[in-house]
Structure 1
């Protein structure tokens, strides 16, 4: 019988660590052995390419439904899992994630530097990252795998008695604490074949560089993808924006804080659909778009919204070429036990209002045993129909969140 691994990636706001009684890695700091972030163009492009492929697949399966994910969380957790893969399993993961041509050291050191560069604790921006491994106490795991998890991903490693009903509560409490209570549960139970829960957590909170005036927020008509309409709270502001307009869409870039992180909002033209924006989108096209924004005066009206999203990523990852991690897996660099991934679970939370954005996400993977220009006229952009939004870090070009909002909720 194969034993199973549960992989959970959590993207969220972090404030304080849950008081742990297990091995705890030292927090990341800009000093010491943590490298300063230096752009690895291949890794950056691979991450962006994977982000759009995964997101596009999920949107295709969720017609006329809100989709909101954290690609960064998924990539970090899958990279951690990649450290335990060997043989054809490793090759399949490398192909799907775009790691071909990169050594394991390059991937780990790149991710270590990336996490260090992403984390910010400023007056207007909070962004922190945490990883944890929860292992069945009677199963032995490879020391190199555990060491890499701690050294490069600052993972907290805990050996638990999985037969104790309190273990479920302990893991879920860690998730809740690292998401400021936005996500309170990632696992329902622990099965006899479960041997490892791998969880990545990121917390983000950003205040708009120029906030919206709440007094100007008014109910307006929002046109849903199914042809119906609803009344919804719309924020509005006149001023100068980084703006881009093509025959297919209008787009604005809204900076958080001093502009280290940005919120991109793409609105398809009235005769188009938000899903059509994704058809040509890849890493190269995205970089081309983000390089074309120009300062321009205009009026922006956009929905205030809050939503929770949850999905199982097993079928999506199989479609992207990672079928082998779920069956006939080779994780011999992780443990001598015969193991495979049982479930990859992803949860997110996001709230966008007049002050800024708060978002959280949890992705879990379980492993089981088997056997604009001054001369241009001001623009008007009324976001009253389904749209695409992306939150990206400027320095590392990492896509932290992305979503299609077809029915905003409050």
Structure 2
């Protein structure tokens, strides 16, 4: 059972077994009483923001979202394969009454969910747990996975090759093919995997010049290299010196309610860059955003290098920095992140 207040977006989970091939999307139904039901329209609605939307077409994850749910949306929903196999049944309750007093954690969860909904057309986030088919997961664990990751744990397949394809297909789908291949191989001894995927798609609100241009980019060691550039002689952006950061900061508007902030240290030395990084605390970043929000945009000459980040962080080092030494030891022997 899922209980929400009126006006919120509701996520109803459904998954096709990982051992099955996805040849068509699942079918969703809502009970209408007297042993009757109606099929939800997930295909023909062409409006920009559908009332009911299938989040990941042609994927093992066949979850839907009901936007701006009201009391009329309450009822029993069921998800079935195209062959008629019942995959999931959910009782949805939409309440008009005011919600009870919330804990800080519950309030943060709601704010985070609202932020994700607001940015849903530019920012996609997904998580999925995969586990060895020999393991028996408790109902409590499964329910927590649905609660925190909005996804039911899925069993790994029989062979390493099948699992490698399963994982890479999932990552490609959730990142809109920005990461077509994450893993070379999934170890046969893998017991549990937690995957997190984040995909952001943003476009400049004001376009740069179409004509390609190249120029010098100074690296930290002082070397100059020729790189492709984005250039505009009178780009509309907000720029100011932010005392908290001790850096010049420029704010570039993107489509939607998104912005890109670029921080320039006093010089191109590593020491000045590290000083700016140290000052990027939560409080200072909030102050920076407020300062630039209050300032008026102006026409400025902008030259930006076109870059591509390709980073593979060392998870053991990151886990140890968080103080999770026991998990780090487990990670190096048994876990796969």
Of 246, 250, 253, the match for 2:251:
253
What's 2:18 paired with?
Answer: none
Distance 1:152 1:268 in 2: 38
Of 56, 59, 77, the match for 1:19:
59
Q: Offset at 1:149?
A: 1.5
**1:304–1:205 Cα change, 3 Å:** same
What's 2:124 paired with?
Answer: 128
**1:148–1:202 Cα change, 3 Å:** same
**1:277–1:162 Cα change, 3 Å:** farther
Do 1:112 and 1:152's aligned partners in 2 also have CA atoms closer than 8 Å? no
Larger gyration radius, structure 1 or structure 2? 2
Of 282, 295, 312, the match for 1:310:
312
Distance 2:135 2:127 in 1: 20
* Runs of 4+ deviating beyond 6 Å: none
- 1:7-61 C-alpha deviation (Å, 9 max, x unpaired): xxxxxxxx844532xxx4733444449xxxxxxxxxxxxxxxxxxxxxxxxxxxx
Q: Offset at 1:112?
A: 6.1
TM-score, with length taken from structure 2: 0.63
- 1:44-97 C-alpha deviation (Å, 9 max, x unpaired): xxxxxxxxxxxxxxxxxxxxxxxxxxxxxxxxxxxxxxxxxxxxxxxxxxxxxx
What's 1:391 paired with?
Answer: none
List aligned pairs for 1:171-320, cutoff 5 A: 171-215=167-211, 217-237=212-232, 238-246=234-242, 248-258=246-256, 260-270=257-267, 272=269, 273-293=272-292, 294-295=295-296, 296-320=298-322
Do 1:109 and 1:152's aligned partners in 2 also have CA atoms closer than 8 Å? no
What's 1:334 paired with?
Answer: none
**1:156–1:17 Cα change, 3 Å:** farther
Do 2:214 and 2:229's aligned partners in 1 also have CA atoms closer than 8 Å? yes
TM-score, with length taken from structure 1: 0.53
Query: Structure 2, unaligned stretches of length 5 or more?
Result: 1-54, 71-102
Which structure has the higher relative contact order (CA within 8 Å, separation 6+)? 1
Q: Offset at 1:147?
A: 0.9
CA RMSD of superposed structures (Å): 3.2
Query: Structure 1, unaligned stretches of length 5 or more?
Result: 1-14, 34-104, 328-339, 345-364, 368-410
What's 2:146 paired with?
Answer: 150
Q: Offset at 1:314?
A: 1.5
Q: Offset at 1:186?
A: 2.6
Do 2:216 and 2:226's aligned partners in 1 also have CA atoms closer than 8 Å? yes
Do 1:213 and 1:236's aligned partners in 2 also have CA atoms closer than 8 Å? yes
Are 1:366 and 2:336 matched, yes or no? yes
**1:109–1:163 Cα change, 3 Å:** farther
Higher strand share: 1
List aligned pairs for 1:300-379, cutoff 5 A: 300-327=302-329, 340-342=330-332, 366=336
Secondary structure at the counterpart of residue 306 of structure 1: coil
